[in-house]
Structure 1
Amino acid sequence: MTSIRNNLQQVQARIATACAAAGRRADSVELLAVSKTMPVAAVLEACAAGQRAFGENYVQEGVAKIQAVRAWEAESGAAPAAVQWHLIGPLQSNKTRLAATHFDWFHGVDRLKIAQRLSEQRPAELAPLQVCIQVNIDGGGNKSGVVPQEAAALAAAVAALPRLVLRGLMTVPEPVAGFAAQRAVHARAHEMFEQLRAGGGLGPAFDTLSMGMTADLEAAIAAGSTLVRVGTAIFGAR
């Protein structure tokens, strides 16, 4: 077995163990393989191992990989567009058209202007772009994201836009040491997610809480994450 195949199996085992500890089903958490800065060959190796959801931070790098994987799908006989592509990094206004045209998901909506541009620029022949509101849950100074007090208003405005589907929230808290401290931060995001979902008006598709990475995926799952974004544990250090 290849190294990436082994790594994927180990990460899936971590997810299953964390879900069992939290009294959750293993299939209640999706694995997003974060392939930023990794070569196309590494992505194709992960595809060959069965991974079908990838996260990229940089638009143009991501587009190049999307095109390469589409070619692989055609050559290998895989279902067209079987691989899902998630943009998870900050997005500048001058890159929204590329993002709207090529990606399936965008996790980093932190202001209405970006969401409006994505809505306007999403091609009509494509399925609506799936988006998450990024919340700066712990007030980290180096992180993007709307402040928690403004998340509800932004979510309502984004949910009303055409060509987008609001799927949930995404967080990237500052690293903290220890399972309990990690879980406490993630629990705040889960509480906000549940409050927004209970408030109604955001639609039945509001079902995704994107939080947790290589170092803290167990704590994130314990707190209620539905999607973990893992790069290093799959592809190695960058």
Structure 2
Amino acid sequence: MSQIAEHLKQVEARISRAASDAGRPSGEIALLAVSKTKPLDAIVEAFEHGQRRFGESYAQEAAAKIDALRQDSRFDAIEWHFIGPLQSNKSRLVAERFDWVQSVDRSKLVERLQQQRPADMPALNVCLQINISGESSKSGMTEAAIFELAAEVAACDRLCLRGLMAIPEHTDDLTRLGEQMARMQQLFTRLKADYPQIDTLSMGMTEDLEPAIHHGSTMVRVGTAIFGARDYS
């Protein structure tokens, strides 16, 4: 078995154990393979072993990968998620290629994605990114700004509001980490009460997927544990 295939099995086992410990069915949690900076061969290998959701953070790099893979109709089955900070001048690259954008955090970006999403494509799925830790180094809006921006997205016919995304603090203080994740879970529940189509709480990565699942995450974004810290070539 290839290294990536083995890593996928290990991550899926972690998700299953965490879901069981949280009293949740593992089918409630989707695995997003974070393939940013990884070569096409690594994506193809993961795809051949059943992975279908991939996350990218750099618009130009991602556009080149998507365009290359779409030369082969097999890869039309991939669900592409943009998960990095998105500059307004790069928004068209994403609007025309991706299925999801998880890093929407301001009105200008909502307007551009709505304008640039091709009319013949399905609505672009959107998660609002929350800076739940309040760290200046991280993207995302404040908790107070969520509901106004959610209303803006919901009013767009070429966008579909699907949920929230966050990158909690990287810390060994499990109490502080748990508090941030619990706040995200509460915000998700509140937003879902207003918008029943919402179904995605994207939270948890290689280091913290277990507590994220405990706090209601429905999608974990895993890169290192699948592809390793270095590029496969």
Matched, 1:65 2:65: yes
Q: Which residue of 2 aligns with 1:193?
A: 188
Out of 146, 159, 162, the position equivalent to 1:167 is: 162
Q: TM-score, normalised by structure 2?
A: 0.95
Q: Which residue of 2 aligns with 1:136?
A: 131
Structure 2, unaligned runs of 5 or more: none
Q: Which residue of 2 aligns with 1:124?
A: 119
Q: Which residue of 1 aligns with 2:198?
A: 206
Q: CA RMSD in A?
A: 1.2
Which residue type is aligned with residue 60 of structure 1? Q
1:13 and 1:180 mapped to 2: Cα distance?
25
- Residue 23 of structure 1, CA deviation: 0.3
* 109-118 or 174-183, larger mean C-alpha shift: 174-183
- Residue 182 of structure 1, CA deviation: 2.6
1:1-238 equivalences under 5 Å are: 1-72=1-72, 74=73, 78=74, 81-198=76-193, 200=194, 202=195, 204-238=196-230
2:48 and 2:153 mapped to 1: Cα distance?
36
- Residue 178 of structure 1, CA deviation: 4.8
Q: Which ranges of 4 or more aligned residues in structure 1 deviate by more than 4 Å?
A: none
- Residue 141 of structure 1, CA deviation: 1.2
Deviations 1:7-43 (A, max 9, x none): 0000000000000000000000000000000111100
1:103 and 1:53 mapped to 2: Cα distance?
11
Which residue type is aligned with residue 89 of structure 1? G
C-alpha contact 1:182 1:216 (8 A) present in aligned 2: no
- Residue 58 of structure 1, CA deviation: 0.3
Structure 1, unaligned runs of 5 or more: none
C-alpha contact 2:169 2:177 (8 A) present in aligned 1: no
* 138-147 or 178-187, larger mean C-alpha shift: 178-187
Residue-pair matches, total: 230
- Residue 205 of structure 1, CA deviation: 2.0
- Residue 179 of structure 1, CA deviation: 4.2
Q: TM-score, normalised by structure 1?
A: 0.94
Overall identity of the aligned pairs, in %: 53
C-alpha contact 1:168 1:193 (8 A) present in aligned 2: yes
